[in-house]
Amino acid sequence: MKISTKGRYALRMMIDTAQNQDRGFVALKDIAERQDISKKYLEQIVLQLTQAGMLRASRGHQGGYMLTEPPEKYTVGAILRAVEGPLSPVACLDQQPNQCERCDFCLTLPVWEGLQAVVERYLDGITLKDVIEGNVPREG
């Protein structure tokens, strides 16, 4: 499993929004400048985050984006799923129940299920607030 640029930028955008929304809605152009990310690319990401209910938009002069919940309500896993889709290491785990014709006798399926469980437990255990405050657990 590899997190794409879209997933990494979505997390950076959510962090930036959380850090700057105390002054109201955060302008996309300001996020783009601070994070050195193309505004055009952020427009694609913000659409997905808005559709997922994580951001709300305001148009006009003081417009921009704001989190719909406090930072401690968002997990890194939820943010990544909103823009990346399932965090499955193999395609057969993308749908539940498993639709793979081999799932009843596949000897490797438990390996992939275990990997997915570890990744999801880790990413779902880290909130936006944890990242902002530097409280991210390191494995190893």
Residue 139 lies in a domain: no
DSSP type of residue 70? -
Distance, CA of 70 to CA of 130 (rounded, Å): 12
User: What is the tally of structural domains in the chain?
Assistant: 1
66-86 residue pLDDT tens = 999 999 999 999 999 999 999
pLDDT of residue 78: 98
Give this prediction's pTM: 0.91
The domain that holds 50 is classified in CATH as 1.10.10.10
Residue type, 49: L
Residue 7 lies in a domain: yes
Distance, CA of 96 to CA of 89 (rounded, Å): 14
The mean per-residue pLDDT over the stretch 89-96 comes to 84
Residue 118 lies in a domain: yes
Q: Write out the residue range of the structural domain in which residue 94 sits.
A: 1-134
Residue 63 lies in a domain: yes
Paired tokens of 115: 């990997």
The 10 Å Cβ neighbour count of residue 32 is 19
Residue 50 lies in a domain: yes
Among the ranges given (55-59, 88-92, 132-136), the one the predictor scored with the smallest mean pLDDT: 88-92
Residue 127 lies in a domain: yes
Q: What angle do CA 12, 54, 74 make, to 5 degrees?
A: 65
Distance, CA of 140 to CA of 134 (rounded, Å): 17
Residue 108 lies in a domain: yes
pLDDT of residue 140: 56
40-57 residue pLDDT tens = 999 999 999 999 999 999
Residue 140 lies in a domain: no
Residue type, 78: A
